[in-house]
């Protein structure tokens, strides 16, 4: 790199710090005019395209850098991040694995690599990178926050508490960190509640800007068994989230109705049988907060089973194969279009997408709850394979969703009326799958599982064709990461403390109960 190019590089780097992307672009072009094959010019150009949200152009630029200089780990990690945005997860994993050992002196790219590993569902790979980034630069809030979140995923709960407390000392008004701290620690007194309520009273923000505080306060009041105050804050959180959700439950119900209409017993028997695969997915589905993670951990503690956690690959393949562009993640039109396709496009596309996650075990669990919408396609793509349906008391299931932040994944849960309407449709969908799938559907009831762990575990494994192993009873010792809303609870032994919890709020939840019972759903 000659002096002129070096000076342009320095000017470009200074402009990056100021987010002056016009100047960065000028510097990149200036470098490439003087040295057409200079990797630094393409690297700066890639950062400009990244900032402009042009992922294809950014990818092309970073790939060019690596073609010219394979040692540019900065371009490699930037490239992996862009691949992740396009759900090119296998390529992400390959790039990160190749370059992670070269990141030892770069806290920025250690942190970015950790974040990208987490995005593709590998927080255990991210953990040592976050640790190293924080060791090199211990006072960077972003690095601390990423370490804290990852600590929850990998079961380092004490480290998570320490990190969130440290972050709140630096920034006492950070609502998400208050919420995260409430998740990883059980309130035993009013100290954190008083701190949060003081912040709430002083911040003068609109309710939609206080959502995480509301949920945190509700959770900690519930820890202290102050049921009325807990529900007051859960209600405020739900109302605030609903006000900005731009959501109509009828849209989700229309998808359920379309699935029931399209995915019939006759449809399931039609078409060619997809070829057998060496690796077999075992799908665990249901509603969120019904015990799907508990069941997944029990199954995945078996020596013949691994887990890929929650993936959206079934939905991703369906969207792609439908050929229908849509802003929404799923629509009735996509369901109808994919129903006409050969089921092999789903099984082959899914396995190709998930291959980077698989080990030597012949069976792997995918436990994304809303895959229940796609059980017909799953059953057709993997004929003869069992599917686990997790059930829970309707009132406990609904209330547990109502008091949980889902960051827009399950918008129906923020409002009790929408929740009731959705649950009625969901109940109809479950009855449909029982009729269509018959014995392939293995139902597990949360209440029975936590009250008779060994008996229900033996029954479950037998239905799945697996021999009993003692490790399945000691699932809390399973060191595998978990990035679900239950990532803290699954580090504990089975208990019945969450059974009939809704009864503490029986008066407040009466409208929900009335709606469900009017639809013929038994809640007791």
Q: What is the pLDDT along the chain (524 residues), one digit of tens a residue?
A: 688 889 999 999 999 999 999 999 999 999 999 999 999 999 999 999 999 999 999 999 999 999 999 999 999 999 999 999 999 999 999 999 999 999 989 999 999 999 999 999 999 999 999 999 999 999 899 999 999 999 999 999 999 999 999 999 999 999 999 999 999 989 999 999 999 999 999 998 999 999 999 999 999 999 999 999 999 999 999 999 999 999 999 999 999 999 999 999 999 999 999 988 888 899 999 999 999 999 999 999 999 999 999 999 999 999 999 999 888 889 999 999 999 999 999 999 999 999 999 999 999 999 999 999 999 999 999 999 999 999 999 999 999 999 998 766 789 999 999 999 999 999 999 999 999 999 999 999 999 999 999 999 999 999 999 999 999 999 888 767 666 655 566 667 788 888 999 999 999 999 999 999 999 999 98
- With a CB cutoff of 8 Å and minimum separation 6, the contacts of 54 are none
Predicted local confidence at residue 406, as pLDDT: 75
pLDDT for residue 483: 63
- C-alpha to C-alpha distances, 41 to 60, 108, 350, nearest whole angstrom: 13, 20, 37
Q: What is the pLDDT of residue 211?
A: 96
Helix (H), strand (E), coil (C) string for 485-509: CCCCHHHCCCCCCCCCHHHHHCCCC
**pLDDT given for residue 278 in this prediction:** 85
**Distance from C-alpha of 419 to C-alpha of 516, rounded to nearest angstrom:** 10
User: What DSSP designation does 102 have?
Assistant: G
Beta-carbon contacts of 520 under 8 Å, excluding residues fewer than 6 positions away, are none
- Per domain, the residue ranges of the chain are 249-492
Taking a C-beta distance cutoff of 8 angstroms, is the pair 291, 444 a contact? Answer: yes
- Spatial separation of the C-alpha atoms in residues 390 and 433, rounded to whole Å: 13
Q: Torsion over CA of 499, 503, 509 and 510, rounded to 10 degrees?
A: 120
The C-alpha angle 293, 297, 300, rounded to 5 degrees, equals 130
Do residues 74 and 106 make contact, with C-beta atoms less than 8 angstroms apart?
yes
Of 288, 299, 274, nearest to 378 by C-alpha is 274
In three-state form (DSSP H/G/I as H, E/B as E, the rest C), the secondary structure along 140-171 is CHHHHHHHHHHHHHCCCHHHHHHHHHHHHHHC
SS3 523: coil
Q: What stretch of H or E contains 307?
A: strand 305-307
Sign, CA dihedral 464-426-321-91, equals negative
- For residues 161 and 190, what is the distance between their CA atoms, to the nearest angstrom? 17
Grouping H, G, I as helix, E, B as strand and the rest as coil, residue 282 is: strand
* Alpha helix segments (H runs only) across 270-415: 292-300, 313-322, 332-338, 344-354, 375-381, 394-402
* Rounded Cα–Cα distance for residues 430 and 438 (Å): 11
Q: Are 40 and 1 in contact (CB under 8 A)?
A: yes
Q: Output the pLDDT for position 486.
A: 58
Burial class (CB in 10 A: 0-12, 13-18, 19+), 88: middle
* Chain length of the chain: 524
Please, what sign has the CA dihedral across residues 13, 15, 16, 17?
Answer: positive
CA distance 308 to 351: 12
CA-wise closest residue to 472 among 484, 455, 486: 455
Which of 3.40.50.720, 3.40.50.300, 3.40.50.20, 3.40.47.10 would CATH assign to domain 249-492?
3.40.50.300
């Amino acid at each position: 790199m000659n002096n002129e190019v070096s000076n342009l590089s320095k000017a470009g780097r200074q402009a990056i710090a100021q987010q002056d992307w016009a100047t960065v672009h000028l510097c990149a072009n200036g470098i490439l005019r003087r040295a057409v094959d200079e990797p630094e010019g393409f690297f700066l150009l890639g950062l400009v395209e990244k900032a402009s949200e042009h992922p294809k152009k950014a990818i092309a630029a970073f790939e060019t850098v690596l073609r010219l200089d394979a040692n540019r780990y900065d371009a490699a990690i930037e490239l992996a991040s862009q691949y992740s945005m396009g759900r090119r997860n296998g390529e992400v994993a390959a790039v990160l694995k190749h370059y992670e050992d070269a990141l030892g002196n770069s806290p920025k790219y250690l942190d970015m690599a950790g974040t990208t590993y987490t995005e593709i569902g590998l927080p255990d790979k991210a953990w040592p990178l976050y640790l190293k980034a924080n060791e090199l630069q211990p006072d960077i809030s972003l690095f601390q926050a990423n370490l804290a979140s990852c600590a929850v995923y990998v079961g380092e709960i004490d480290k998570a508490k320490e990190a969130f407390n440290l972050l709140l000392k630096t920034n006492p008004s950070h609502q998400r960190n208050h919420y995260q701290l409430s998740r990883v620690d059980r309130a035993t007194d009013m100290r954190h509640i008083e701190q949060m309520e003081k912040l709430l009273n002083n911040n003068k923000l609109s309710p939609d800007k206080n959502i995480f505080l509301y949920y945190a306060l509700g959770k900690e009041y519930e820890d202290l068994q102050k049921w009325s105050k807990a529900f007051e804050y859960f209600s405020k959180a739900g109302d605030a989230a609903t006000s900005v959700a731009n959501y109509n439950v009828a849209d989700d119900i229309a998808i359920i109705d379309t699935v029931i209409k399209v995915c019939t017993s006759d449809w399931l028997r039609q078409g060619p049988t997809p070829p057998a695969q060496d690796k077999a997915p075992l799908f665990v589905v249901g509603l969120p907060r019904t015990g799907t993670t508990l069941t997944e951990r029990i199954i995945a503690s078996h020596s013949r089973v691994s887990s890929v956690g929650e993936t959206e690959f079934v939905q991703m393949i369906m969207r792609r194969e439908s050929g229908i562009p849509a802003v929404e993640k799923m629509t009735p039109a996509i369901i109808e279009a994919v129903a006409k396709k050969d089921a092999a496009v789903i099984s082959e596309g899914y396995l190709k997408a998930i291959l980077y996650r698989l080990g030597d075990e012949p069976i792997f669990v995918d436990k994304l709850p809303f895959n229940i919408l796609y059980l017909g396609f799953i059953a057709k793509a993997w004929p003869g394979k069992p599917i686990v349906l997790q059930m829970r008391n309707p009132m406990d299931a609904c209330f547990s969703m109502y008091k949980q932040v889902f960051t827009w994944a399950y918008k129906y849960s923020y409002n009790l009326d929408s929740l009731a309407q959705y649950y009625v449709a969901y109940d109809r969908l479950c009855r449909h799958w029982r009729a269509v799938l018959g014995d392939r559907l293995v139902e597990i009831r949360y209440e029975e599982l936590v009250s008779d762990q060994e008996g229900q575990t033996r029954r479950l494994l037998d239905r799945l064709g697996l021999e009993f192993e003692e490790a399945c009873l000691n699932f809390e010792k399973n060191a595998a990461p978990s990035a679900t809303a239950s990532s803290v609870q699954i580090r504990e032994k089975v208990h019945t403390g969450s059974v009939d919890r809704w009864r503490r709020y029986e008066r407040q939840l009466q409208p929900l109960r009335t709606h469900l019972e009017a639809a013929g759903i038994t809640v007791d």
